[in-house]
């Protein structure tokens, strides 16, 4: 299997938004190992602050739904209010059983269920980035 990093230049950026520090760090490490540039936020409020700041915008956001301070639903609602931010594709990362319906209702580009399998995550990331 060809991993995403082999198909995309290292300047592809991903923002990981998840309150589970261990999961966030594992996902970041796996993506970085594939050549992606990765930033992270522990909740939707910090993710929005990052996106509205001077840092380069990501090419993809991996978004958990169940988080404190600002959950994924509210983050996505706020993201879609800004034309610049709304253009950034989002993949939902959730343990919810209705992940497909949730991804559809949030206008997400895809979803993956927890517990994560890194191979499936890299496949999802590669598939979405191929379209942007």
| Model pLDDT, residue 9 | 52
| Model pLDDT, residue 112 | 96
Give the DSSP H or E segment for 16: strand 13-17
Domains identified in the chain and CATH numbers:
4-130 (3.40.50.2300)
Question: Which residues, at least 6 apart from 115, have a Cβ–Cβ distance to it below 8 Å?
Answer: 95
Low-confidence ranges of the chain (pLDDT < 70): 1-10
Cis bond upstream, residue 115 (ω within 30): yes
| Model pLDDT, residue 30 | 96
| Model pLDDT, residue 55 | 92
| Model pLDDT, residue 1 | 30
> pTM of the prediction?
0.92
CB 67 within 8 A of CB 19: yes
| Model pLDDT, residue 33 | 93
């Amino acid at each position: 299997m060809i991993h995403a990093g082999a198909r995309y230049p290292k300047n592809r950026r991903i923002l990981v938004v998840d309150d589970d520090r261990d999961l966030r760090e594992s996902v970041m490490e796996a993506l970085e190992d594939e050549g992606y540039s990765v930033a992270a936020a522990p909740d939707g409020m910090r993710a929005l602050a990052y996106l509205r700041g001077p840092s380069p915008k990501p090419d993809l956001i991996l978004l958990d739904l169940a988080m404190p301070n600002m959950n994924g639903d509210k983050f996505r609602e706020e993201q879609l209010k800004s034309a610049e931010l709304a253009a950034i594709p989002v993949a939902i990362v959730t343990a919810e059983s209705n992940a497909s319906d949730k991804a559809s209702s949030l206008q997400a580009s895809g979803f993956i269920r927890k517990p994560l399998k890194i191979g499936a995550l890299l496949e999802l990331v590669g598939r979405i980035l191929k379209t942007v």
